Amino acid sequence: MTGRMWPGAVVALATLSALALARDFIWARSAPATKITVLDEQSRLVREITSDRALAKFDELWSRRTDVGLGAIQSHSYKLQIVRNGRRTTWHYDPAGLAQVLAAHKRSVYLLLSADELNTLLDITI
């Protein structure tokens, strides 16, 4: 054999790879946060959350968000770095309660239903 791969094997490997990525994405989304870092517009530290109680409150408030569709947040006042399962995801955050994951291409914008309470937890004042 000259190193050629059976076409079915290529499809199987691609499928397994996609399933592994999906599994990691789901685990990262459902896992509790282990650290939250809040940065202002100049990337200065506003607050770092590491206590179990505050992280649990953050997860509760963060879970109360709704997808309002593709777009862009006009004000990128803050960045939230959320660590789950050892993986950090950075979000743009507008204290009006809008959040969008930092990405090279357009992503959904989310509306936080408890923005005032979340802002207090994050030490963000408007």
pLDDT tens by residue, 18-40? 554 444 444 445 799 999 999 99
What is each CA distance from 4 to 1, 10, 105, in whole angstroms? 7, 10, 35
In this prediction, residues 79-91 reach a mean pLDDT of: 97
Whole-angstrom Cα distance, residue 15 to residue 9?
10
Residues 96-117 pLDDT 10s: 999 999 988 888 999 999 999 9
